[in-house]
Structure formats: C-alpha cells, structure tokens
C-alpha cells in the first residue's frame, strides 16, 4: 500500500494562491493572461491550420487536461470512469434523476450557451474572473459580477426541481 500524494481535496487557501502565482509567473514570462476561452478558440484554429493561429494556446489547452490527469493519479481515487454528472442522472434525494439522453441534452445546451457567452464577453471564469480582475480591468470585474449573479440565480431555479 502507498498513501496518495494529494489529499482528496486541496484546500482553497492553498489552491487559490497557487493559481494566482501561475497567472503572475505566466505574465512574467510572456506578458499574456491565461484565459481558457482563448485556448479553445486557438485550439480550433490550430487544428484547422488557420493562419495566425496562436499555437501556444493549443499547447495550453492540452496542458490543462494533462495536468488534471496527473493530479487525479496522485489521489486515492485515480482515473475514475463515470458520468461526472451524478446530481443530474442519479435518483435520490437532492438529485434530478434525469435519463442519460435528457442529462446530455441539458449539458450540451448549457455548454453552447456558456461558450457563446464567453466569446461574446471576451472571457470566462479564468480569463475575466481571475486574469482580468487581477489586471484591475473594470470590464472584467463587471463580467465576473454578472456571471456570478446569473449562475447563482440559475442554480436556484435548478434546485427547485
């Protein structure tokens, strides 16, 4: 037996400042913020071999998945094949008990709205929510306050079912 290198959940007061240091470190190296929306956009452009595609953002995209995979390997749970949406698909108290196709449709619709909104706003939770706010950008603060508010309201509605 070996004990896991990572706890089941790294406390927020370690993980938060660690993300902050990554943002600062990346600025020190490249003078660029680390938004994930741009990573999706540039990955799509890189795969299509469009001219002017920012390839490092595609590397960043792959890196996120790779780093996540490594981290779960260092936990007790490891790589864990599952739906990932227990609250939506499982029966039981507090769960929605949706069929798999219904859950997939809801998630797909949500993801499309999320992607469309992120591109329109020019950033997501990492782009506006961390990198933009850290640059003291009023637009990013406004976007973050707005998406926090609508996300909390939407979750309130979901919790009524």
Binders in 7-66 for another protein, by CB under 8 A: 8-13, 15-42, 44, 54-66
**54 burial via Cβ count (<10 Å: 0-12, 13-18, 19+):** middle
Closest distance to another protein from the beta carbon of 101 (Å): 10
The answer to whether 98 contacts another protein (rule: CB under 8 A) is: no
Counting residues that bind another protein (by CB under 8 A) gives 121
Side-chain half-sphere of 63: how many Cα atoms within 13 Å?
Answer: 9
Contacts of 57 (CB under 8 A, 6+ apart): 38, 39, 41, 42, 43, 46
Closest distance to another protein from the beta carbon of 1 (Å): 21
Q: CA-based diameter of the chain, in Å? A: 52
- Cβ distance to another protein smaller for residue 1 or 82: 82
Closest distance to another protein from the beta carbon of 3 (Å): 16
Closest distance to another protein from the beta carbon of 158 (Å): 7
Q: Which of 1, 51, 79, 92 binds another protein (CB under 8 A)?
A: 79
Q: Which of 2, 51, 93, 136 binds another protein (CB under 8 A)?
A: 136
Work out whether the CA dihedral 155, 157, 159, 161 comes out positive or negative.
Answer: negative
């Amino acid at each position: 037996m070996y004990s896991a290198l990572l706890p089941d959940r790294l406390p927020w007061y370690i993980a938060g400042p660690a993300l902050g240091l990554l943002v600062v470190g990346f600025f020190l190296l490249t003078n660029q913020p680390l938004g994930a929306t741009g990573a999706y956009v540039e990955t799509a452009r890189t795969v299509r071999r469009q001219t002017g595609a920012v390839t490092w953002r595609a590397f960043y995209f792959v890196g996120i998945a790779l780093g996540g995979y490594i981290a779960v390997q260092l936990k007790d749970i490891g790589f864990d094949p599952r739906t990932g949406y227990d609250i939506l698909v499982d029966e039981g108290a507090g769960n929605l008990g949706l069929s798999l196709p219904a859950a997939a449709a809801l998630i797909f619709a949500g993801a499309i709205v999320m992607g469309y909104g992120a591109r329109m706003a020019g950033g997501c939770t990492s782009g506006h929510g961390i990198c933009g706010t850290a640059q003291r950008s009023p637009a990013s603060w406004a976007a973050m306050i707005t998406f926090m508010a609508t996300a909390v309201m939407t979750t309130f509605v979901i919790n009524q079912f």
